[in-house]
Amino acid sequence: MFYLILLFVGIFISACAQKPASVDLSRLPAVITNPAKYNPLQPNEARVILQQGTEYAFSGAYHDYKKDGIYICKQCNNPLFRAADKFDSGTGWPSFDDIIEGAVKELPDEDGSRTEIVCANCGGHLGHVFRGEGFTKKMTRHCVNSVSLNFVGQENPKKKSNPDGVQPIAEYIKGKGYEKYETAIFAGGCFWCTEAALDRINGVADVISGYSGGSEKYPTYEEVGAGNTDHAEAIILYFDPQIVSYETLLDVFFTAHDPTQLNRQGPDVGRQYRSAIFYQNEEQETLAKNTIEQLNKSGKFDKPIVTELKPYEEFWVAEAYHQNYYELHPENPYVQRVSRPKVEKVKKVFSEILKPEFK
C-alpha cells in the first residue's frame, strides 16, 4: 500500500512542472523576528491569525487575485508563497500548490482530521493544507486566509527575450523552410500529450509545444501553469495538406483528448488546460464548427463538446525542456500513466495514416 501511495504521488509531482519559479526577495520588506515589533493587526485579522479563525469563502482580497509577485505574512513580513504557485481551486480561498522553502510549518489541527499551516517565523495561523485532491499535478492545496497575507508585486518589465527559450513562433521557425506548410493550432490539456499524439500522423512535419489564447507576452510555464495568464498549453502543427487535411487533424485532435471536460483534462485543472481551437481563417473556423456539430450528433461523447473556438492571435513557443518531452522522457510517471494511453489511442484509431516509424 505504501508503494502504491508513493507511485500515485510521484505521477503528478513528476508531471509538466519540472522547474520551480525563481523568487526575487530583494524588494520585500524586512522580516520581523522580534514579537514586540510585529505588525499591528485589525480585530478581523487577529481573529484569524492569532485565534485560528477562518474568513468567509470568496470574501478575501486574494482569492481571485492574479498579479505577479510574492505573498508575505501579514504579521511579520515572512515571504510565504509565490504568485506562480497560486491556482484557482474554486473554493473561495487563495490556493497554492507550493510554498517558499522553509516558510510554512504544518501542525496537526485540534480537530484531528486536518493539518494546520502557520508562518514558520511568527507562528501566525494561515489556513490548512490538503493533499490528493487532484487540483494540480503537485496534488497539494495550501488553503490560506487572505487576511493572513500581504501581497508585494514584482516588477515585470516588458520582456524582449526569455532565457528559457520562450519566443514568438515566427522567430522559432525562421530559416526552417516551413513556409511551404499549412498550420493548425490546438489546445487539449498538457501539451506533452497532444504534441506526441499529433506528431505520429503522416504529413505532419513538426509539432511545437507552447502557449496561445492569452494576451501576455513571453509567458513562462510557471505563469501559465498558475493561471496568471489567459493562455492555454497549446501546440502548433506544420503539415503538408497534400498528405493530410486540416479536417483529418481535427479528427485526431478530438481523439487525443476529451473535449467535453470544461477547463481541465483529467488531473490537470484550470483554463490553461482547456480544450480550444485557434483558427486562422474562415475555412478553418467552418471546418471546426462542422466537426463539433457532427461529433455532438454522433453520440461519440456522452456530454456536449465544450471546445473553445477563437481566432488565432499569437503562439509562444514553450521553454526548450518541454519540446519533444514524450520521446525524451519515457520513464516519467506522468508520461507513462497519462500521456501514453492518449498516444496509443490515436495510434490505434488512425493506424492507416501513421508515419512509417510509428506503425
Angle subtended by helix axes 340-349 and 191-199, to nearest 10: 30
- For the purposes of burial, counting CB atoms within 10 Å of the CB of 46, is it exposed (0-12), middle (13-18) or buried (19 or more)? middle
Residue 9 sits at φ, ψ, to 5 deg, of: -65, -40
Angle subtended by helix axes 191-199 and 246-256, to nearest 10: 130
Q: How many CB atoms lie within 10 A of CB 29?
A: 12
C-alpha torsion 159→163→166→167, nearest 10: 60
For residue 221, the surrounding DSSP H or E stretch is: helix 221-225
Per the annotation, the verdict on 143 as an active-site residue is: yes
Q: DSSP assignment, residue 351?
A: G
Q: DSSP assignment, residue 142?
A: E
Residue 183 sits at φ, ψ, to 5 deg, of: -125, 155
Catalytic residues: 143, 190
